[in-house]
Amino acid sequence: MTDQLIVEVQGPVGRIALNRPKALHALTAEMCDGILAALEAWRGDDGIRAIILDHAAGTRGFCAGGDIRMLAESGAGDGAVARHFFATEYRMNHRLFTYAKPIVAVMDGITMGGGVGVSLPCRYRIATENTKFAMPETGIGLFPDVGAGWYLSRLPGRIGQYLALTGQRLDGGEAHALGLATHYLPADRLDEAKARILADPTAIDAALAALSAPPPEARILADRAAIDRLFAADTLEDILAALDADGGEWATRQRATLDTKSPQAMKVSLRLLKDGAGMASFADEMAHEYAVAARVVQRHDFTEGVRAVIVDKDNAPRWNPATPDGVSDHLIDQIFAPLPPAEAWTPE
């Protein structure tokens, strides 16, 4: 078991705490393997009635995502290490999604990318005043993965498309209002919530209901009409044209944000959500995303996005293609083509 996780049994509850504080608990393949192993060990243990998934005490953030530098270094070569990571991470996502015992994810702090992937499959998802929820992948030439094609495509109206393209951060109240979090608790009540779950894991609903507080007003809902109108299209060019035609302050701000994102990544994201809305199962979604990830991780925009945002930090990525019209439908079709059966993702 890796020291990047704290895995322990406390009476009738299994606890998994992410423990890479210097990296804001960003996931490694070893962490994903460790979570899978713990879930498997507890699956048939009648003494374990519930699982708590959080981060190590006294540390910041819940989970800032995956190990992006590793993925970029692998993608610049043969991509084998990156593909292994995605395969393992997606199996963990799927296992969480299908797990029979209740899992309580404590999204206290940064919950981005891979952090979304470990929290959204859980039956209970607690947001706090510290929650910062986002899928910011288009800014590094990637796309919202870890099941985001499933989750975001099922949000109200066009909010999922808006979040996928812009990477907009949500606070805890907004995450709760959109159903991304099931409960909103002040952070200073989390210890009491965990204690009540340990005392009676069959009464999680009652414990969280008793400790919940009214969340702050969800600011994103005030923009709902604009989001649904201006992000209505499934083509990037039409969304950009709608923002330009509107010309208002909000639309102009969103247009400026999209100008900083990878055109390829934005087109991939829109296609992913369109496909995800019709997926028959979460396993189908993960197999679909794996094929896309296996290709995108080796393309120029991902390597360049990581260089600009994470390595050199000049925040001046040189996307290629540089404009939406340079990203052809044929290129997107190639990225989304199914993998050969021997290379395709499977849940086990």
- pLDDT band at 305, cuts 50/70/90? very high
CATH number at residue 269: 3.90.226.10
Active-site hit among 54, 67, 89, 137: 137
Q: What gap in Å lies between CA 322 and CA 301, rounded to an integer?
A: 10
329 is catalytic: no
Whether 49 is in a domain gets the answer: yes
Which candidate in 108, 145, 275, 289 is catalytic?
145
CA distance 259 to 128: 31
**Is 66 among the catalytic positions?**
yes
**Strand-strand pairing, 13-18 and 5-10:** antiparallel
| 44 a catalytic residue | no
Question: How many residues are recorded in the chain?
Answer: 348
Identify whether 313 is part of a domain: yes
Residue listed under structure tokens 């270094």: 73
CA distance 300 to 26: 23
Structural domain including 38 reads 5-336
Calpha distance 84→336 (Å, rounded) = 19
137 catalytic? Reply is: yes
Beta carbons of 84 and 91 less than 8 angstroms apart: no
| Number of domains forming the structure of the chain | 1
Residue 59 in domain: yes
- Name beta bridge partners: 88: none
Residue 230 lies in a domain: yes
pLDDT digits (tens, 9 = 90+) for 176-189: 999 999 999 999 99
Looking at residue 54, what DSSP letter applies? E
pLDDT at 3 over 80: yes
Other CB atoms within 10 Å distance of the CB of residue 58: 6
pLDDT at 311 > cutoff 90? yes
**Rounded Cα gap, residues 99 and 15, in angstroms:** 15
What residues form DSSP beta bridges with 105?
Answer: 53, 125
Is residue 86 over pLDDT 80?
yes
Instruction: Say what the pTM is.
Output: 0.96
Does some domain include residue 168?
yes
Of the candidates 114, 139, 141, 173, the residue annotated as catalytic is 114
The pLDDT of residue 284 is: 98
Structural contact between residues 93 and 150, judged by C-beta atoms closer than 8 angstroms: no
Residue 348 lies in a domain: no
The catalytic residue among 14, 61, 65, 66 is 66
Torsion of Cα atoms, 116 then 157 then 296 then 257, to 10°: -90
Residue 131 lies in a domain: yes
343 occurs within a structural domain:
no
The overall average pLDDT reported for the chain is 97
pLDDT in tens, 290-302: 999 999 999 999 9
